[in-house]
Amino acid sequence: MLLKLDRVGKRYPMGGGHVDALKDVSLEIQAGEFLAFAGPSGSGKTTLLNLVGCLDTPSSGSIQLDGQDLGRMSRGQLGQLRAARIGFVFQSFNLIPVLSALENVEVALRLGGLPADLDRCEQALVDVGLKEQLHKRPNQMSGGQQQRVAIARALVKQPALVIADEPTANLDSHNGEAVLDLMRALNEDKGATFLFSTHDSIVLDRVRRTVWLRDGVVQKIEP
Amino acid sequence: MTGFLVGLALKNLFRNVRRNLISGVAVIWGVALMILGYGFIDGLDENIIRTEIDTLSGHVMLRPQGYPESSLSAPVDMLEPLPQELLAGLAEHTWTQRLRFDVRLVSGPESIRAMGVGFEPLRDPQVFPRDGYDLKGAWPEQRGLVVGSRLARLLEVGPGEVVVLQVRTSAGSINALSIEISGVVTTHNPAIDNFVVLLPLDQAMSLVQAPGPSEVSIRLPRRGQADAVAAQLDGAWAAHTYMDAARDMIALNVARRKALGFLVLMIMAIAATGIANTVIMATYERVREVGALAAMGMTPGQVRAMFLLEGAALGLIAGTLGAALGAGANYYFSTSGVSLDALAESGSAVTFSTTLYSAFRWGPVLGGLAFGALVAALASIYPANHAANLDPAVAVRTD
Ligand SMILES: Nc1ncnc2c1ncn2[C@@H]1O[C@H](COP(=O)(O)OP(=O)(O)OP(=O)(O)O)[C@@H](O)[C@H]1O
Ligand SMILES: [Mg+2]
């Protein structure tokens, strides 16, 4: 089992009081899954993704990644864990504008403490269909191409887990479908685990499992 | 990783060249002003010292014991012939003697107070070189008067005309001498050009009935020898070095340096504010990017280093531009000089040359450059910390 969430709660301070973004979420996720968290706005999708992505820690309950309890880790340890084992694909791509596609991918290797192997970076870009765009900067590429660079960047270190929060929200439907098909193919070929948060039917149509959230509570899991 | 961070910081620096240049302008000006300003003050030091040596004091000056230090009055009632003991000590040096006396210069209905200087026609130029002088007429060999150019202008006299010198003799009586002007000199030292008339020593001594000169000046091969020679000769007459004469003027430059230092600090404070502001704007613009890097495992220390490097590099580049500008201007003024004639026209009795050359030294150039970079790096500390404390989750947030 890759991830095990046990009665996870997340409470944010809000005004004078607080808001429970997640309440008693228990969930198990296997390696190799292609899974989406879905639900209306404010239901806790991003909060949940941030917790399993080691960007944040739960207020209650426990999360285990490969048997390690994330709640016991310091900020620094979580950072190391993210660098080594977790890839991120962001809604707004978040590439470094002054670096080429290849260099953007290289950043992930360096931060992951891995040797800056250019062949490996190039292969990651070839895998996402950007053989011709290696030396282009983000502003010379379309949104779809930028998101592919982000996917290559997330996958180059062969992470245990790829976190993608609304990866299609800034793409038109054609590019959104292409990007999702690409991730699905990478999931099948390389066994990479993908966790999404989304409203988008493009994503929901392609994931193998969907966890429906409402007001911070798991409503149902399909299938 | 360090090389990577440096590379990224430098690339980020060129993202907004115009904005960075604008915020770097204060550093450029500050550094340039610092270099040029110190160049001029150092140049003024040298100017004062050199002029003092070359026109008034020589390297070492000897005067009768008890002769007033102030150059404003020149009593003749306390003079004596050169002591034998002193003459023996002078034998190995290049030296000359002068007699100063207070004089009233009369031409028709006009008269003006001046400083008379009796000089040895042959030996005086060996101690006080006349290379830079502009002379209308000629130096007298036995009899005749050379008048400082501004003095001549005020009295409206020139070579060939006759003036009357009125003096008080060593015995206290009044004496006068009708004398033809043989030359009008511009030494470019206002203390001479505005106030002094020169005539041969013998003539001067008989005019004021002085038993001896008021001073002996020595020219040495090197300035550095002045203290030792002065110490050696001090005895029957009191020995001073050129520094004793220049000291008061040099002391003014200490105050000038402080004022300049304060001005530079003010400019640098403005520069620091500008740079801090620029780096803060950069951190806000790049929130998502930095969040993404932090999400991918960049440590707060690395984020901080990245922005500090960017600020320091901005300071280094602006500092280099400022140093180049300051050094270039300073070099120009150290070879071409600036004219201070207008200053001399105000009737100044202060010794300096009216052409001021700045002093070019590498120390302030490198110091200014390093100072610029340091100020910029310090100014980046706060914004860099701000970026380092950024929550990686902001990169994910969609709003
Ligand atoms: N940092 C925070 N501080 C305070 N409240 C927060 C914070 N992050 C999220 N929340 C609150 O937690 C709840 C869940 O937010 P979350 O962002 O997880 O929702 P979401 O399902 O991702 O919504 P969306 O579809 O709009 O992205 C919301 O009520 C939100 O206002
Ligand atoms: Mg969300």
pLDDT (tens place) for every residue of chain A, 223 residues total = 889 999 999 999 888 899 999 999 999 999 999 999 999 999 999 999 999 999 988 999 999 998 889 888 888 899 999 999 999 998 888 899 999 999 999 999 999 888 888 898 998 898 888 889 999 999 999 988 998 899 999 989 888 899 999 888 888 888 888 888 888 988 998 888 999 999 889 999 999 999 999 999 999 998 8
Distance CA B230, CA B218 (A): 10
Distance CA A194, CA A135 (A): 27
In-domain check, residue A9: no
In-domain check, residue A66: no
Strand order in the sheet with A68-69: A17-29, A3-14, A60-65, A68-69
Of B14, B298, B396, the CB nearest to A165: B396
In-domain check, residue A15: no
Of A79, A88, A92, the CB nearest to B299: A79
Q: What is the 3-state secondary structure (H, E, C) of chain B?
A: CHHHHHHHHHHHHHHHHHHHHHHHHHHHHHHHHHHHHHHHHHHHHHHHHHHHHHHHHCCEEEEECCCCCCCCCCCCCCCCCCCHHHHHHHCCCEEEEEEEEEEEEEECCEEEEEEEEEECCCCHHHHCCCCCCEEEECCCCCCCEEEEHHHHHHHCCCCCCEEEEEEECCCCCEEEEEEEEEEEEECCCHHHHCCEEEEEHHHHHHHHCCCCCCEEEEECCCHHHHHHHHHHHCCCEEEEEHHHHHHHHHHHHHHHHHHHHHHHHHHHHHHHHHHHHHHHHHHHHCHHHHHHHHHCCCCHHHHHHHHHHHHHHHHHHHHHHHHHHHHHHHHHHHHHCEECHHHHHCCCCCCCCCEECCCCCHHHHHHHHHHHHHHHHHHCHHHHHHHHCCCHHHHCCCC
| d(CA A197, ligand 2 centre) in Å | 7
Q: Give me the pLDDT at residue A93, please.
A: 87
Residue A172 neighbours by CB distance under 10 Å: 12
Domain, as residue range, for A138? 32-46+74-222
Protein residues within 5 Å, CB atom, of ion ligand 2 = A 46
Structure tokens at A133: 């765009």
Query: In chain B, which residues touch A (CB < 8 A)?
Result: 1, 4, 8, 11-12, 14-15, 288-289, 291-299, 391-393, 395-398
Q: Is the dihedral of CA B328, B331, B335, B341 positive or negative?
A: positive
Residue A116 β-bridge partners: none
Q: Give me the pLDDT at residue B144, please.
A: 95
| d(CA A79, ligand 2 centre) in Å | 21
In-domain check, residue A158: yes
In-domain check, residue A2: no
Structure tokens at A119: 């062949």
| Domain count within chain A | 1
Q: Which residues of chain B have pLDDT under 50?
A: none
Nearest to B296 by CA among A118, A125, A79: A79
Nearest to A198 by CA among B125, B37, B398: B398
Residue B272 neighbours by CB distance under 10 Å: 23
In-domain check, residue A139: yes
Tell me how far CA of residue A122 lies from CA of A118, A149, B1, in angstroms.
6, 11, 20
Nearby residues of A117 by Cβ (< 8 Å), 6 or more positions away: A109
> In degrees rounded to 5, what are phi and psi of residue B99?
-125, 120
Nearest to B42 by CA among B373, B362, B366, B371: B362
Structure tokens at B185: 């000199």
Contact B396 A76 (CB under 8 A): no
Question: Which residues of A are less than 8 Å from B14 in CB distance?
Answer: 98
- Report the CATH number at residue A210: 3.40.50.300
Helical segments of chain A, H only: 45-52, 75-85, 101-111, 118-127, 143-155, 173-190, 201-204
How close does chain A come to B41, measured CA to CA in Å? 45
Q: Give me the pLDDT at residue B395, please.
A: 59
List pLDDT tens digits, range B103-148: 999 998 889 999 999 999 999 999 999 998 999 999 998 899 999 9
Nearest to B360 by CA among B22, B38, B138, B94: B38
Q: Which residue out of A43, A48, A196 has the highest number of ligand 1 atoms within 8 Å of its CB and is therefore the one to mutate?
A: A43
ipTM: 0.92
Structure tokens at B353: 């040359």
Nearest to A83 by CA among A157, A163, A5: A157
Residue A194 β-bridge partners: A34, A162
Q: Give me the pLDDT at residue A103, please.
A: 94
How big is chain B by its Cα radius of gyration, in Å? 31
Contact B8 A98 (CB under 8 A): yes
Of B1, B15, B295, the CB nearest to A110: B1
